[in-house]
Structure 1
Amino acid sequence: MKNRIQLLSLAVFLTTLCACDTQKKKVTPPAPVGPVPSEAQVAWQEMELNAFIHFTTNTFTGKEWGYGDESPAIFNPSETDVDQWVTTLKEAGFKGVILTAKHHDGFCLWPSKYTEHSIENSPYKDGKGDIVREVSEACKRHGLKFGVYLSPWDRNRADYGKASYIEYYRNQLEEIFTTYGPVFEMWFDGANGGDGYYGGAKETRNIDRKTYYDWPATLDMVRELQPEPRVIFFSDAGPDIRWVGNEEGLAGETNWNTISNDTLYAGKAGISELLATGSEDGNEWIPAEVDVSIRPGWFYHKEEDTKVKSAEELFDIYLTSVGRGSNLLLNIPPDKRGLIHEKDVAALKAWRKLIDDTFRTNLAAKAPATASAYRGKSPDYAATNVTDEDKNTYWTTDDGTTTAFVEIDLGEEQQVSYILLQEYIPLGQRVKSFTVEARQGDNWEKITEATTIGYKRILKTGTVSTDRIRVNITGAKACPLISNIEVY
């Protein structure tokens, strides 16, 4: 009996010892660095491609900015088919659609009870049409998310510039969010104030952009109207996503998701460059959205039918937007018939094929990977996490180790033209600089280099024949966290 008790005590001791040893070996993950994204911002970033739809009286007048005195009678698309819009966009790879429910001219694409300047007083469907509802429902049918653009500037309203206009604007937001939601992104344009019709006044009105709209109260109201799913708000200054500072399809070659939003007021010297690059030491997580049109203008104009961007031009824009850690918001405007024009459709199809063909076969998928160092020698943070095709795993180093490399074995000589890298952004953006090398015989040759990575970075390497790729992190704010490396 005594021996059995002793053996039992020994077993308990050994079990406790093993438990303590296991606990000792458990390696903790890195702490977050700087501002980090919300779950909604991460989900938005993962969408990558969204479509803009500009459609209003401008489509029929040939203008880009309507003056506000246009008669609703001119809005009369004869063959409107929003399913054609949405299926075209879905096939091109877009995940969401943002509709200009009201542009600067003030004409509303839904029958707003707060104005006569709306689709209700147009010939479209004998005044019973509602483009906002049609697009919202088409998005639901085809599995795309629905967003809206409601211009804060209104060149039609007689009370624009007065306090009563803010009540009008908020009333319309309430109509949108209680009738057509859920809305994944709300777009607020930076164009505010200037000359306009203003109910017949025909004058110039200027407002204080910082204070007139009382944005904090307006956004809080919208959040109350739609607490879930969380709305992502776009404007020059965020609060959730920022303008990239140009309409050319270009995010900065250095592109930080962090920026200090008290610096982001339009008209400030150097604002465009700041918006494009963000700030390494910014105090808020506000990633950039790249907005650009498939045509020279934002609205359809027949004379631009020969100027639709080619698949190759769109592919270059993909690389300088999504490929630089931003989301692409590509505008595709319906024509006077109410259809996406055949030339736009053809360009989108060819663009999708080009993307699919280029990134069809990831040469690094499940490939063996090693690293110069990894956190606590724990398999939880080993190099193989960059090729395991799991976005929730990552390779990282010990705290204080900000330079290191990871090497991927492609198995045999492969023709390499592109490399794609992703950071694990839920714990912050860290990498400041890196290089990519390819093994050439017994030597390593640099084939490309860049600064930031963020959610995604895609780089052309030139056509290189190699059996191994090495990514060298040469600078980081803290231990780097790389969740994915793909080779094409």
Structure 2
Amino acid sequence: MVRIFFVVALAVISLTGCHPRPVKSPAPVFPVPTRQQLDWHQLETYAFIHFTTNTFTGKEWGYGDESPSVFNPSQLNVDQWVSTLKETGFKAVILTAKHHDGFCLWPSAYTDHTLAASPYKNGKGDLVRDVSDACKKYGLKFGIYLSPWDRNRADYGKPSYITYYRNQLKELFENYGPVFEMWFDGANGGDGYYGGAREKRRIDGSRYYDWPGTMQMVREMEPDILFFSDAGPDIRWVGNERGIAGETNWNNLTPDTLYAGKAGIENLLGTGSETGSRWIPAEVDVSIRPGWFYHAEEDGKVKTAEELFDIYLSSVGRGSNLLLNIPPDRRGLFHEKDVDHLKGFHRLVEERLGHNLLEKAKVKASAAYDRTQKASRLTDGDMQTFWAAKETRTDMEITLPRPAEIHYLQLSEHIALGQRVKAFEVEAYDGRNWTTVARGTTIGYKRILKITPVKAQKLRVKILDAKAPAVLSEIRAS
């Protein structure tokens, strides 16, 4: 009898609506990210690895006439690369499988200009395989950079080169996947070896590669792939190699008139476009050293932990992802200084941003989108939950569990419903007065603000302008 009563009671509770109501979502503000782009935003920080004949010749851009025999690392250890990256908080790796010199880090069937013609492992090596396998071992995603420009190929600039380029993409995607990102840049055409021609060649970057056809071919092999180039179509270049995204940084861009290598678009790439038609977020690529490849004379110029942390704030902290290049040395190892500075950088991120002073803090907010919206979701530590405002101007007041000194603020929009915020400010209450401690424009997936340290009992986040009522997922302080 007791069991029957309990079952009936549960049914009554269900019928009378005593279970928590499902949270209602406001209409999205387009464009919005795809599922793959949402996953990409969550990576935040990943590594570029540049390693080829340039490492041994001292060049940045190989001419294409380098002999494969110069590629001979003495202690190469891919496990050291990827385990270091895992330990220091990186979520993925993009390998330069072929740079502009045309030398391939896998034994391609379509050219002799590969490590199969080198002394490394007596020609039996395959670094693309090794890095792909190491990423699987350590739980990192794997990406590929295959330079569109090839200064070694005799047929570069002719239609047959596009067939060659696509054949190599087929080799890579059929044999080394899964691949989360394909990376290609705007370095196209100029002087080169070109099979002995030793001449300058020009191509029409907007048409020569037939990128739509190439990308369609790749997507058929790897449906979840994301393509990076100056204008996307999935991820855009940020417009510089200094590690700086725009303080105003929209994830939107209209790509119809843009292509890899087009001149004069750097500012647009840095800021995005509020009215852009597609979701094309920015990726910030920068090297830990002055060059992209290892050069012994740069051992004293490795970016310090503090410099890397500043880059983190101006990239991830402005709603972009950080692609940090770490080039192996001639031994085939990450240099000791690079590793030491990476570890120091990771410590700073953990020490300065890893603890949340607002965890479970009480929140009072202006009118919500509807009564299913709970302002407490802003401090629940879950980026998947959100609070939606009713009006474009709105305030949120957060009472800290106890007064604390604040150095950093972090705001996040629920970007699955689009990017909305155009202007905001944050005030701190010290027990007597409210003081403005931060102002900004866009927020996006994550906005981190370094402020003058302030002892606060409360914070007030004010959305001053937005394309539509704000939908925020998280507010943090540390």
Residue 442 of structure 1: how far off its partner (Å): 3.5
2:329 counterpart of 1:341: no
Cα distance in 1 for residues equivalent to 2:261 and 2:218: 27
1:386 equivalent to 2:378? Answer yes
Say if 2:58 is the partner of 1:66: no
Aligned residues: percent identity?
A: 65
- In structure 2, C-alpha distance between the alignment counterparts of 1:104 and 1:121, rounded to whole Å: 18
Query: Does the alignment pair 1:128 with 2:124?
Result: yes
Name 1:200's counterpart in structure 2: 196
Asked if residue 175 in structure 1 is aligned to residue 171 in structure 2, the reply is yes
Separation in 1 of the partners of 2:25 and 2:341?
A: 45
Counterpart amino acid of 1:219? M
Contact 1:223 1:231 in 2 (8 A): yes
Report the Cα offset of residue 361 of structure 1: 1.7
Change (3 A) 1:155 1:411: same
Pairing partner for 1:242 from 236, 247, 265:
236
1:449 aligns with 2:443: no
Deviation at 1:27, TM superposition (A): 7.3
What letter matches 1:417 in structure 2?
H
- Partner of 1:255 in structure 2? 249
Matched with 1:223 is: 219
Aligned to 2:314: 320
Q: Does 1:94 align with 2:84?
A: no
Whole-angstrom CA distance in 2 between matches of 1:202 and 1:276:
36
Residue 105 (1) aligns with residue 89 (2): no
Residues 201 and 439 of structure 1: is their aligned pair in 2 closer, same or farther, counting only changes over 3 Å? Answer: same
Please give the alpha-carbon distance, in whole angstroms, between the structure 1 residues aligned to 2:23 and 2:347.
44
Q: Is the 8 A contact 1:324 1:456 kept in 2?
A: yes
CA distance in 2, matches of 1:276, 1:40: 22
Q: Post-superposition shift, 1:360?
A: 2.7
| Greater mean deviation of Cα atoms: 379-388 or 189-198 | 379-388
Secondary structure at the counterpart of residue 316 of structure 2: helix
1 CA distance for matches of 2:228 and 2:416? 20
Mark the CA change 1:406 to 1:128 in structure 2 (over 3 Å): closer, same or farther: same
Equivalent residue letter for 2:386: Y
Q: CA deviation at 1:19?
A: 7.7
Give yes or no for the alignment of 1:435 onto 2:416. no
**Match of 2:472?**
482
Task: Find the counterpart in structure 2 of residue 418 from structure 1.
Answer: 408
The DSSP-based 3-state class of the residue aligned with 1:220 is helix
Q: Does 1:47 align with 2:43?
A: yes
The 1-side partners of 2:384 and 2:71 are apart by 49
Which stretch shows the higher mean deviation, 322-331 or 218-227?
218-227
Q: 1:26 to 1:248 in 2, by over 3 A?
A: closer
In the TM superposition, what is the alpha-carbon distance from 1:174 to its structure 2 partner? 0.2
Distance 1:412 1:109 in 2: 55
Q: Partners of 1:53 and 1:298 in 2: how far apart? A: 8
Q: Distance in 2 between matches of 1:98 and 1:208?
A: 27
SS at match of 2:168: helix
SS at match of 1:126: helix
Residue 266 to residue 110, structure 1, CA distance change in 2 (3 Å): closer
Which one of 170, 186, 196 corresponds to residue 190 of structure 1?
A: 186
Aligned-residue offset at 1:168: 0.3
Q: Does 1:116 align with 2:112?
A: yes
Q: How far has the Cα of 1:20 moved from its partner?
A: 10
Secondary structure in 2 matching 1:323: coil
Secondary structure, aligned partner of 2:104? coil
Q: Which residue type is aligned with residue 234 of structure 2?
A: D
RMSD: 1.8
Which ranges in structure 2 are unaligned for 5 or more consecutive residues?
1-10
Q: Which residue of 1 aligns with 2:450?
A: 460
SS at match of 1:211: coil
Alignment of 1:234-383 (within 5 A): 234-265=228-259, 270-376=264-370, 379-383=371-375
Shift in Å at residue 440 of structure 1? Answer: 2.7
Check conservation: 1:27, 1:375, Cα contact below 8 A.
no
Q: CA deviation at 1:462?
A: 1.1
Alpha-carbon deviations, 1:130-170, whole Å to 9, x = none? 11111111111111111110000000000000000000000
Give deviations 1:303-326, integer Å, cap 9, x for gaps.
000000000000000000000000
- Superimposed CA distance per residue, residues 341-367 of structure 1 (whole angstroms, 9 cap, x where no aligned partner): 000000001111111111232000111
Match of 1:11 in 2: none
* Deviations, residues 236-290 of structure 1 (Å, cap 9, x unaligned): 0101000000000000000000011124346656411100000000000000000
Partner letter of residue 350 of structure 2?
D
Residue 4 of structure 2 corresponds to none
1:27 & 1:102 partners in 2: Cα distance?
48
Matched AA of 2:214 = T
Q: C-alpha displacement at 1:41, in angstroms?
A: 0.2
Query: Within 1, Cα distance between the matches of 2:22 and 2:449?
Result: 36
| Contact map agreement 2:396 2:460 (CA 8 A) in 1 | yes
Q: Aligned residue pairs: how many?
A: 466
Partners of 2:39 and 2:262 lie apart in 1 by 31
Q: Secondary structure at the match of 1:166?
A: helix
**Correspondence 1:470 to 2:460:** yes
State the one-letter code of the partner of 2:453. Answer: T
Q: Tell me the SS of whatever aligns to 2:270.
A: helix
Task: Specify the code of the residue in structure 2 equivalent to 1:311.
Answer: A
For residues 366 and 451 of structure 2, the distance between their equivalents in structure 1, rounded to whole angstroms, comes to 23
SS of equivalent residue, structure 2 residue 340:
helix
Give CA-to-partner distance per residue, 1:193-232, whole Å, 9 cap, x none. Answer: 11100000001111111111101110110011122xx011
Inter-CA distance 405–237: structure 2 relative to 1 (3 Å threshold): same
8 Å Cα contact 1:42/1:426 also seen in 2: yes
Contact 2:182–2:227, Cα closer than 8 Å, also in 1: yes
Worse-superposed segment, 409-418 or 108-117:
409-418
Matched with 1:6 is none
Q: Which runs of 5+ in 1 are unaligned?
A: 1-14
Q: Which runs of 4+ in 1 moved over 3 A?
A: 18-22, 25-28, 265-270
Q: Residue by residue, what CA displacement relative to the aligned partner does 1:382-419 show, whole Å, maximum 9, x if unpaired?
A: 21110011222211122xx1000111110321000100
Instruction: Answer with 218-227 or 452-461: which moved more.
Output: 218-227
Q: TM-score, normalised by structure 1?
A: 0.93
Deviation, 1:26, is: 7.8
Structure 2 counterpart SS, 1:169: helix
